[in-house]
Structure 1
Amino acid sequence: MKPLSIKQVALTTAALCLATATSVAAETRLILGEAGPNRGARAAALQHFVDEVTARTDGEVVIDVQWGGALFKANAAAGSIADGVADLGTIISVYFPQEMVGYGIADLPVVNSDAWVGMRATDDLMRGSEEIQANLADQNLVYLGTFTTSAVNIGCKDAAIRSVADIEGLKVRGVGAYGDTFKDFGANMVPMSIYDAYQGLDTGLLDCSQGYSYAVGALKQEEVMTSYTLLNWGQVGALGIFMNKDVYDGLDEGIQTAMADAGVAMADKLGELITADNEAAVEKMRAVGVEIIELDAVERDKLVETGAQYVDAWAERASGVGIDGTALLAEYDALLAKYAAERDDQGYPWTR
C-alpha cells in the first residue's frame, strides 16, 4: 500500500476533526435542577423522563440532572429556571402561589384521589389552556410534565377519624387548603414538616398528621400511628417540570415534541410506581396493627363542601392574572371524568 502524502494526511485529519465536531455539535446537553434527592418514586419518574427524552431524540438531547438542590432550592426554582440557572427543572406550585396560580388547580381540595387520573387530567389542562401557557410565557417558562404527591390521607396516634366530628380538638399537622379545611372542623393546627411528624406523633406534639401513604412507609410513621384514615378526597398535584422558554424556543420542533411525549410518559410511570408504593404502604400498616379506616362518602362530602371556599378563592386569584378560573375548573372536572372513565374501561396503562 502506497504511503499517504503529507497533504493527504492533513486532509484526512481535517475530515476526521470535522466529523467529530459535527457529532459533538449534534448533541444538545441540557441542565435540569431538582431540589429533591435521587431516591423514591418521583425521582425514578424524573429519571424516566430524562431517559425518554434521550431515546426519543435518538441521543441528540442529553439531560444532566443536578439533584438535591445543587443549583437552587425549591423555593427559588421558578425564577432560577426563568433566568437560566438551569435549562429546565422541577417547580412546586405551593412556593409560587401567584406565579403558578393556573397550575395550582391541581392542589385544590376537589374529589380526585387517583394519582394517575389526576396527573393525566392536569397534564391535558396545562398543555391545552392557552391562558395558562400565555401566563407561563410571560414568566419565560414552558410546561413539560407533571408529578403528584398522590391522595391526601391522615394518620393518628391514640385517636381515630371516622367522621368529620372526630377532627375537633385534635392537634393536626396539615398544609394547604386541606389543612385549612381540617382547621375549619376544629383541628388545632401545628406547623411542622412531614419529616418531623414521626417525632411529633411519638412525643404527643401531634395527634394526627396529614400525608400520603407512600410517605408514611418511607418515613416509617406506621411505627407511631394507631389509625390511618383513607379520606378518598383529593391530592396535591401541582408540581412538575418546566423549561426556560428561551432555551425551549431554540429547539427544533421534533425535539419539542419528543420532550412533550416524554412528559406524558413520565406521568404514566409515576402513576405506576406511586400506586404500587401506596398499596404496599397500606398493607405494611395493616401488618403492624394500624387500623385502616375508609371515610364514608357522606363524611368525605362534608370535607369537600367546606373546602369549596378555597376552590372559590383560587378562581378569584386566577382571574386576577387573566385566567378564567371558573371555566378552567369545569374543564378540569371534565378531564378528571375522562381519565377516570378510561381507567375503568381500559385499566391503567401499565396493566394493558
Structure 2
Amino acid sequence: MKRLLGGAVMGLGMFAAGISQAQTLFVGEAGPNRGARAAALQGFADAAAEASGGSVTMDIQWGGALFKANAALAGIADGVADLGTIIAVYFPKEMVAYGIADLPLENPDAWVGMKATDELMRTDASIQANLADMNLVYIGTFTTSAVHIACKGGAIRSVDDIAGKKVRGVGAYGNTFKEFGANMVPMSIYDAYQGLDTGLLDCSQGYSYAIAALKQQEVIDSYTLLNWGQVGALGIFMNKDAYDALDASAQEALLTAGAEVPDLLGELITADNEKAVQTMKDAGVEVIELAAEERSKLVEKGNVFIGEWVEKANAVGLDGEALLETYRGLIDKYTEERDTKGYPWLRG
C-alpha cells in the first residue's frame, strides 16, 4: 500500500459519511523554486486547492528533496511522493508515449506544443493504459520552450562548430548534436552549472528561462538560439493508487488544474524567456541567432529520430504511426487557434 493510500481511504470513508476531510498531497520537484516552470507548478497547486474548495492542498518539495530528476518515475510510482514532475528523457522506454512531445517536429511554440501534448495525453486510451501499468496517472504538462545551446569557450555559429565539443544534450536533440560530432556527457540540467564551470562541459542544451533560473549566465560565454523545436515531455504525474483513493471531486480538481497549466506557463515562459535573454546579455553573454540554412541541417538530421520513436512506441504495444499522426493534427489545430484567436492571455 502506497504511503498516502491508507490516509486517503480513511478520508474517503469520512466523505461518504458527509464529513469533509482536507488532504495534503506531497509533490516531488527536482528543480528550484524560481523561474517560470516553478511558478506554473505553484499555480497548479493553488488552482487545485481552489477547484476543490480547499479540500486538496499540496506540499511541494523543491530542489530534489524527495528524489532527483532521474529517480522521479519510481519515486512517484512507489509513493515516495503523491505526485510530481517526470522528465521523459530520463526514462526513454517507460515514458515513450509521452516522449512524442520531445520530437523535433519544427514546433518551437511553447503554448501550441503544450496544448497538443495535453490533449493527446488526456484523450488517448492506449497512453492512459500504458501509464496505468506503471501506477501513474497523467495530470498536466509543461515544456522547456524552444531548445537552444549555451557554451563556455568557443561559440556555436554553425553546425560545424558542434564537432568535438563536450555537450550535455537530451533526447532527439542531443542525439542530433552527437550526429554532428559532439562528445555527449550524461548530466542533468540542474548539474550543468558545475559542469560548465569546471570544464566537464563545453556546451549544454538549454532553454532561456532555465538558464536564468539556474544562474548559468554566470558560467557561459555564448548562447545560440536554434529556433528548432522544444522538449515538451515533462509534466505532472500522480501515483495511481493515491489518485484512485481520492473522491471524484478531488480527482476532477486535479485534472482541471492540470488542464490550465499550458495557458499559465505559456504566458509566464514567454515573458521569462525574454527577460532571461536580456539577463544573459547584461552579464556579457553573446547571444547568437543560428542562420536559417544551418538550422535546416539540424532539422534534416533530426528527422531520423522521429522514425526511431515510432519503432520504440510500437515495441511497447503502442501504435506509433497513429499517435504521431494524431499529434501532428493537434499541433495544426492549436497553431490555427493561435493564429486566428491569439494566445489566451492576449484575448480580449
Q: TM-score range by the shorter chain?
A: 0.7 to 0.9
Q: What residue identity is the alignment partner of 2:287?
A: I
Structural mapping, 1:95-244, within 5 Å = 95-198=90-193, 200-201=195-196, 205-244=200-239
Question: Which whole-Å deviations, capped at 9, do the CAs of 1:160-216 have from their partners, x for residues lacking one?
Answer: 333323322333332332122111112233444445544554565544322111222
Q: What residue identity is the alignment partner of 1:319?
A: N
- Find the structure with the greater CA-based Rg: 1
Q: What residue identity is the alignment partner of 1:84?
A: G
Alpha-carbon contact 2:36-2:209 (below 8 Å) kept: no
TM-score of the aligned structures, taking structure 2 as reference length = 0.85
Displacement of 1:113: 1.4
> 1:199 and 1:254 mapped to 2: Cα distance?
44
Alpha-carbon contact 2:35-2:210 (below 8 Å) kept: no
- Backbone CA RMSD of aligned residues: 2.5
**What SS does the aligned partner of 1:242 have?**
strand
> 1:122 and 1:69 mapped to 2: Cα distance?
25
Structural mapping, 1:1-352, within 5 Å = 25-36=19-30, 37-198=32-193, 200-201=195-196, 205-352=200-347
Displacement of 1:346: 2.2
**Which consecutive residues of structure 1, in runs of 5 or more, have no partner in the other structure?**
1-20
Alpha-carbon contact 1:148-1:239 (below 8 Å) kept: yes
Q: What residue identity is the alignment partner of 2:21?
A: E
Residue equivalent to 1:6: none
Query: Does 254-263 or 191-200 show the bigger shift?
Result: 191-200
> 1:235 and 1:28 mapped to 2: Cα distance?
38
**What SS does the aligned partner of 1:232 have?**
strand
**What SS does the aligned partner of 2:260 have?**
helix
The share of aligned pairs that are identical, in percent, is 67
Change (3 A) 1:307 1:188: same
> 1:81 and 1:183 mapped to 2: Cα distance?
31
**What SS does the aligned partner of 1:186 have?**
coil
Q: What residue identity is the alignment partner of 1:316?
A: E
> 2:247 and 2:290 mapped to 1: Cα distance?
50
**What SS does the aligned partner of 2:44 have?**
helix
> 1:146 and 1:263 mapped to 2: Cα distance?
7
Change (3 A) 1:71 1:200: closer
Q: What residue identity is the alignment partner of 1:29?
A: Q
Query: Does 334-343 or 193-202 show the bigger shift?
Result: 193-202
**What SS does the aligned partner of 1:142 have?**
strand
Displacement of 1:289: 4.3
Residue equivalent to 2:11: none
Change (3 A) 1:301 1:142: same
Change (3 A) 1:195 1:54: closer
Change (3 A) 1:288 1:87: closer
